[in-house]
Structure 1
């Protein structure tokens, strides 16, 4: 019996920080860092960072929805980000670091919208939730050195997370 995998695509600022929370969970086949949402085919990291391609850094997750449903991916996604920042994430303030959920089908769209509405209604944040929910667009895999960065360079990864302000924000806003 073959498994039926689906894809989920999330932009949450620096893609290095968005891989580990999803990686190696039951039902997760793979997590790939890349670029989506823009107009240029096969953009490079430098082009995306320049802000001229319209892309955001994102992760694309291949998962088995029977083992790990999309709703659980959303439960992991939100606490990784500052959903109130329209200009980027933490130390990375540019259009390529904005947050977004890219849905791959109508069911994902409905679940993403419902989860965003629940977060808005929770009162957790006093500012509006600005994370966009958009249809999936072509996804371009990032360069090899960006893949699994937390495994390849664990000390650099930890230092970056700490310096970026992501860990402090998560601790202050999500872990209480």
Structure 2
């Protein structure tokens, strides 16, 4: 969705992008819920777990009858890097303010005195804000197969300022 507004020399353009109804498999999270076949199921938990260490360790299942948010860590000797279960499927829908451009063109009366036909000052912000229920760094960076390894970097924010001079 692109919205453009202008008033008395000012201009504002806002680009909003979104995806709805898309799912992803958070592979990074599944990798951190298993111990890669070591004898200690908590070996990879903690300082080696990166962003996954934000989880509350007391919320793991440990014995029958426990009510917990997360299952116990799993010894996975078949496939040491991927555990398949629906708990790792997340809603990858998002709404992003992709671009905001604000500009001001000086009145022509003033620009003609300076020997120019236009002087315009502008500022641009890229990748301003993203809203998503997903826990991966950037739900837009998910592969076509719906998989996110979790090591994707979010799209960086960028700020640009400039002057357009037309002679």
Confirm or deny a common fold (TM above 0.5).
no
Q: Which has the larger radius of gyration?
A: 2
Scaled to the shorter chain, the TM-score interval is under 0.3
Bigger share in helix: 1
Bigger share in strand: 2
